[in-house]
């Protein structure tokens, strides 16, 4: 596993910039595990990502449905929010494996993914977002497992470093 302190998102513009880099470097089949407290910025990053990929509608915080599909962009996006689910078994009962299979040509973005790590595929990029000490910014740490995710992390670090 490659772990890395990625950097700080000081404002929404930084989150937007990171989403642009994701949109440029993401490859089909990527699994993004978004972790971090309430309000850490998971939905915001997902929303900017759907925008930058060119999806027809933009991700919002799911209120009723646990899973949303965003199409029409460079890659389709499955956006899941596991906050309200009680167990990994529940996720599987909802047809999780089939959904992941359907998104082999797209991107899967999961909020509160760390609640049920047993639902992750072997190749994943984990993004931990936390509030900074002054509560204004968000501090990100990434961990990558698998060839695709490690390559993505390297690409993101290189392009983020040269911003």
111 binds ligand ATP per the rule CB under 6 A: yes
61 binds Mg ion per the rule CB under 5 A: yes
Number of residues that bind Mg ion (CB under 5 A): 4
Alpha-carbon gap, residue 70 to 54, rounded angstroms: 9
Query: Could you say which of Mg ion, ligand ATP, none residue 79 binds, taking C-beta under 5 to 8 angstroms by partner kind?
Result: none
Residues 63-92 that bind ligand ATP (CB under 6 A): none
Count of alpha carbons within 13 Å of 11, Cβ hemisphere only? 1
| Binding characters for ligand ATP, 8-27, by CB under 6 A (x = yes) | -x-xx-xx------------
114 binds Mg ion per the rule CB under 5 A: no
Nearest to 160 by CA among 25, 48, 65, 63: 25
In the block, residue with structure tokens 């977002």: 129
In the block, residue with structure tokens 């899967």: 108
Task: State the Rg of the chain over Cα.
Answer: 15
Candidates 7, 23, 26, 41; binder of ligand ATP (CB under 6 A) is 41
Candidates 38, 63, 161, 162; binder of ligand ATP (CB under 6 A) is 38
159 binds Mg ion per the rule CB under 5 A: no
46 binds Mg ion per the rule CB under 5 A: no
Helices vs. strands in the chain: H and E counts, helices first? 5, 7
CA 120, 104, 58, 160 torsion-angle sign = positive
Strands 77-81 and 67-70: antiparallel
Cα angle 98-150-75, degrees, rounded to a multiple of 5? 45
Stretch that binds Mg ion, among 28-36, 40-48, 86-94, 121-129 (CB under 5 A): 40-48
Query: Could you say which of ligand ATP, Mg ion, none residue 38 binds, taking C-beta under 5 to 8 angstroms by partner kind?
Result: ligand ATP
Q: Which residues bind ligand ATP (CB under 6 A)?
A: 9, 11-12, 14-15, 36, 38-44, 61, 111, 137-138
């Amino acid at each position: 596993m490659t772990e890395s302190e990625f950097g700080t998102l000081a404002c929404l513009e930084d989150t937007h910039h990171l989403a642009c880099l994701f949109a440029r470097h993401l490859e089909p089949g990527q699994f993004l595990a978004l972790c971090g407290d309430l309000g850490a910025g998971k939905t915001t990053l997902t929303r900017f990502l759907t925008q930058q990929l060119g999806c027809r509608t933009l991700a919002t915080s799911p209120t009723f449905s646990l899973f949303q599909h965003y199409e029409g962009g460079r890659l389709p996006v499955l956006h899941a929010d596991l906050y309200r689910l009680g167990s990994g078994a529940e996720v599987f009962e909802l047809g999780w494996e089939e959904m992941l299979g359907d998104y082999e040509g797209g991107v899967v973005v999961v909020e509160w993914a760390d609640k049920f790590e047993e639902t992750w595929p072997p190749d994943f990029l984990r993004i931990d977002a936390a509030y900074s000490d002054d509560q204004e910014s968000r501090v990100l740490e990434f961990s990558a497992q698998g060839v695709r995710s490690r390559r993505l992390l390297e690409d993101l670090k290189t392009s983020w470093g040269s911003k």
